[in-house]
Amino acid sequence: MQKRVAASLKRRHAQEKRFRFYGMAAVSIALIFVAILFFTILSKGLPAFWQATLTLDVYFDPEIIEIEEKPQQQPGENDAAFEQRMLAWQTDLGFINFNRIILNSLAEVLPEAPKYQRDAMRLVTSGERFGLRQLVNDNPAIIGQTLRLNLLADANVDVWLKGNIDRSLPDHKQQLSARTRIWADELSERGIIRNKFSTALFMNADSRSSLASAGLAGAFIGSLMMMLIVMFLAVPVGVGSAIYLEEFAPKNRITDLIEVNINNLAAVPSIVFGLLGASVFILWFKLPLSAPIVGGLVLSLMTLPTVIIATRSTLKAIPPSIRQAALGIGASKVQSVFHHVLPLAIPGILTGSILGVAQGLGEAAPLLLIGMSSFVASVPGTPFDQSTALPVQIYLWQGNELRNFFEARTSAAIIVLLALMISLNALAIWLRKHFETRW
């Protein structure tokens, strides 16, 4: 008998050890894959935060920038007349050939640049001429002065210097001419071209004419506007609905049907909400295509079931004795819920709500169906302006034809998106700890 008991114990202990081993192995494998994912993204994306940049002495030659003095509003002049004069001045400024300014600056470090203008101008991304124009627009006093400026190198120059292209390829397969490649290497050796932290990645909107200037500003602001809409719509409505269903709604077939449908909606694929948003908000309500207001409404519908379920689960976890004690001392049903139950449920409600918002932040499929896959080269000023979002920007960049440049930039955008999502999750953990300690 004792041998049988000992053998049985030995088998159970062996089973427990195997179970622990399998569990640890599963967790280890999962962590390894997560580590590989993060290592791949970071190794590809981090170099994109530093971009090839030329440091040049730029002379704003008054013989090239022949323009009248910037208009100033005169006493008694109405706003419409002043705006008309300002628009005319800015139009004249737009006709200035700022490429000549850049070419003259390159000639100071490359004497042969004026002779081979096309090859020389391939060193600097085309968007920098608009940057120089903006400097003159903001401060016309710089005309006649020399400023040391950082100008972004062309995307192909950045790829060439970082070694992301095979240098042994023949000339007809290279994006840059042989002379431009030689100049790029020479300027890099002289320290005129250096890898510097790319503020353009965060300050500029997307661009197709000047690929090196393409940034995430438009997508970031668009995502921020959508998240604010979700916070102001889905969170209050979801929390209010959960409180009513859990604490006040009568238990009957209607509420049972509502609960079943809420659970079903939480499992609906996100692309279905995109179809709903396109048909309702764009076709019926005639809201603008590819606008943060539409994206925010679609993500609010998608996030709403998650917020309701999380809030109800938190309310169910509050001990019934809290409600009974409140009612026992004379509190009404509303007072017992809002004065006693809800304060204890705030940590869980905040955690569920923020996690729901973070989930919406990473969604791309519903936004593609409401037109946010279109190219938008501006930063939205209001929720009704055309915009894109971070997940959609990642989708657009990964399909760009200049793969060697945008593969790293796509990973950099993923890092930014992951940083935002991790920040939201960290905020949820902090708020939970804070309110748990408080109450």
Tell me the one-letter amino acid at 22.
Answer: Y
pLDDT of residue 27: 94
Give the whole-angstrom CA distance, residue 251 versus residue 259.
11
Give the whole-angstrom CA distance, residue 246 versus residue 355.
21
Residue 404 and residue 47 in contact, taking contact as beta carbons nearer than 8 Å: no
The mean per-residue pLDDT over the stretch 421-436 comes to 80
162-186 per-position pLDDT tens digit: 988 888 888 888 889 999 999 999 9
362-374 per-position pLDDT tens digit: 888 888 888 777 7
Question: Which of 37-51, 129-143, 297-311, 330-344 shows the lowest mean pLDDT across its residues?
Answer: 330-344
Report CA Rg, the chain: 30
pLDDT of residue 124: 95
| pLDDT higher than 70, residue 45 | yes
pLDDT of residue 182: 93
pLDDT of residue 427: 81
87 pLDDT tier (thresholds 50, 70, 90): very high
* Single pTM value for the model: 0.86
pLDDT of residue 438: 55
pLDDT of residue 160: 92
pLDDT of residue 154: 94
The mean per-residue pLDDT over the stretch 27-49 comes to 92
Higher pLDDT, 375 or 88: 88
Residue 230 and residue 300 in contact, taking contact as beta carbons nearer than 8 Å: yes
pLDDT of residue 348: 85
The mean per-residue pLDDT over the stretch 74-84 comes to 86
Kindly list the distances between the CA atom of residue 140 and the CA atoms of 60, 67, 73, in Å, as whole numbers in the listed order.
10, 10, 16
Tell me the CB-side half-sphere exposure of residue 175, using CA atoms within 13 A. Answer: 18
The mean per-residue pLDDT over the stretch 299-316 comes to 91
| pLDDT higher than 70, residue 74 | yes
| pLDDT higher than 80, residue 2 | no
The mean per-residue pLDDT over the stretch 4-21 comes to 82
| pLDDT higher than 70, residue 133 | yes
Give the whole-angstrom CA distance, residue 356 versus residue 424.
10
111 pLDDT tier (thresholds 50, 70, 90): very high
pLDDT of residue 437: 64
246-285 per-position pLDDT tens digit: 988 888 888 889 888 988 888 888 888 888 888 889 889 8
Mean pLDDT of the residues in the chain? 89
Q: Take residue 218 and report the two structure tokens written for it.
A: 């438009």
